[in-house]
């Protein structure tokens, strides 16, 4: 039980430690900026949680994020209202997620390879349609999505909480969620039970793509541009958040709470290093070590359970 709470305890200790170590940590501006920085990765990681619980993986989310952000901002630049632009970004993400799901289930190719391929394809298409140039011409009000405040709290926090709640309910209280666990835990047993495995796997990838599209719009709003090169390396951060939070790449394990904690641990580590003047080079190494540490502790716990 103590080990199960370990990610949470780590997060709390990190929070307290940073509060003591740096006078700038516990300020409104700093905490808001931590939330805004983590929100993008966090929302992607929520989708990734579903995918990883289903026993899959999606390496293309960084590219999907860029594609969603770009198409959404292009729509706005072409005169579409902001809401429509955001919707277009989300739908674009869903489209690619759907494709990933269909390729893995219909062609029965390992998702690692499928999404490694689509990572290149999507990034390439994004660069082609943008000609490699960012979209700047977005309405001023669009910045509210990423930078605005609602009831004194960053607007993205509300979005994050809403997404987290929705994914949590999906995972724990719907048939789709239960099938996700079943497929990830033992795809053969799921198939033998008459579960439509391909359909639900595809649905999971599509939801992941949707959330990534939304994250792409938030990223675009924060930059106030549609960047075709946005989101490079984000896929690894999203995966890291899920596994730090107890998700297993073997499938069948993972939770929304865990992923949130995982993403915030990474966010605090990088924010704390900034505040304490630790070089970004060292930051990378620290985060890498934390990933290995978190997963090895989790493995030890599981081994003890099965012994």
Partner 1 sequence: MLLELKNIRKHFGGVAALRDGNLCVEPGQVHLLLGENGAGKSTLMKIVAGMIDPDGGKIIWRGQKVQFRKPAEAAANGIAMVHQESLLAPHLSVAENVFLGRELCNPFGWVRRRRMQQETARLIEEHRFPLRAEWRVENLSPAGKQMVEICRAICHGSSLLIFDEPTSSLSEAETHEVFRIVRGLRERKMGVIYITHRLEELRAVGDRVTILRDGETVHSGALEELPTERIIQLMVGREVTAIYRREPLPPGDVLLQVENINRAPLLHDISLKLRAGEIVGLAGLVGAGRTEFCHTVFGLDPMDSGRILVAGREVQIRSPRDAVRAGIALIPEDRQKTGLATLLPTGYNLTMANLKSVSRFGFLSGAKERRVARTYMDRLRIKADSPKQLAGRLSGGNQQKVAIAKWVARGARVLLFDEPTRGIDVGAKVEVFQVMDELARAGAAILMVSSELPELLQVADRILVMRQGRITGELPGRTTQEEIMSLAALEHSSGRTEENSR
Using CB under 8 A, list all residues that contact partner 1.
Answer: 173-179, 181-182, 185-186, 188-196, 252-253, 306
Select 36 or 200, whichever has its Cβ closest to partner 1: 200
Minimum CB separation of residue 144 from partner 1 in Å reads: 33
Select 115 or 170, whichever has its Cβ closest to partner 1: 170
- What is the H or E stretch that residue 69 is in? helix 61-77
Minimum CB separation of residue 176 from partner 1 in Å reads: 7
Burial of residue 256, with CB atoms counted within 10 A of its CB: 0-12 exposed, 13-18 middle, 19 or more buried? buried
Select 193 or 284, whichever has its Cβ closest to partner 1: 193
> Which residue from 264, 246, 239 is spatially nearest to 11, judged by alpha carbons?
264
Minimum CB separation of residue 173 from partner 1 in Å reads: 5
Select 192 or 281, whichever has its Cβ closest to partner 1: 192
Minimum CB separation of residue 30 from partner 1 in Å reads: 39
Minimum CB separation of residue 158 from partner 1 in Å reads: 23
Burial of residue 96, with CB atoms counted within 10 A of its CB: 0-12 exposed, 13-18 middle, 19 or more buried? buried
Select 151 or 188, whichever has its Cβ closest to partner 1: 188
> Which residue from 23, 40, 3 is spatially nearest to 231, judged by alpha carbons?
40
Alpha carbon separation from 59 to 121, 134, 183 (Å, rounded): 12, 23, 20
Minimum CB separation of residue 80 from partner 1 in Å reads: 32
Bridge pairing between strands 153-154 and 149-150: antiparallel
Select 112 or 191, whichever has its Cβ closest to partner 1: 191
Note whether 212 and 18 are within 8 A (CB): no
């Amino acid at each position: 039980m103590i080990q199960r709470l370990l990610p949470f305890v780590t997060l709390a200790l990190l929070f307290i430690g940073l509060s003591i170590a740096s006078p700038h940590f516990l300020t409104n501006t700093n905490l808001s900026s931590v939330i805004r920085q983590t929100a993008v990765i966090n929302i992607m990681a929520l989708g990734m949680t579903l995918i990883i619980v289903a026993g899959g993986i999606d390496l293309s989310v960084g590219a999907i994020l860029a594609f969603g952000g770009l198409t959404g901002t292009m729509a706005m630049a072409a005169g579409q209202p902001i809401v429509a632009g955001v919707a277009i970004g989300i739908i674009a993400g869903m489209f690619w997620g759907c494709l990933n799901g269909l390729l893995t289930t219909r062609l029965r190719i390992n998702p690692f390879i499928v999404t490694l391929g689509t990572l290149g394809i999507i990034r390439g298409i994004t660069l082609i349609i943008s000609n490699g140039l960012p979209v700047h011409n977005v309405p001023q009000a669009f910045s509210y999505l990423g930078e605005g405040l609602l009831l004194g709290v960053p607007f993205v926090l509300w979005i994050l909480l809403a997404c987290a709640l929705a994914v949590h309910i999906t995972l724990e209280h719907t048939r789709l969620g239960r099938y996700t666990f079943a497929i990830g835990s033992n795809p053969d047993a799921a198939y033998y039970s008459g579960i439509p495995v391909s359909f639900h796997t595809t649905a999971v990838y599509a939801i992941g793509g949707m959330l990534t599209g939304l994250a792409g719009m938030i990223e675009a709003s924060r930059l106030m541009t549609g960047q075709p090169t946005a989101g490079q390396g984000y896929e690894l951060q999203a995966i890291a958040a899920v596994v730090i939070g107890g998700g297993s790449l073997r499938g069948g394990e993972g939770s929304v709470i865990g992923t949130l904690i995982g993403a915030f641990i990474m966010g605090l580590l990088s924010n704390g290093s900034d505040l304490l003047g630790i070089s970004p080079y060292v930051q990378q190494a620290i985060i890498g070590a934390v990933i290995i540490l978190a997963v090895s502790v989790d493995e030890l716990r599981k081994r003890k359970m099965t012994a």
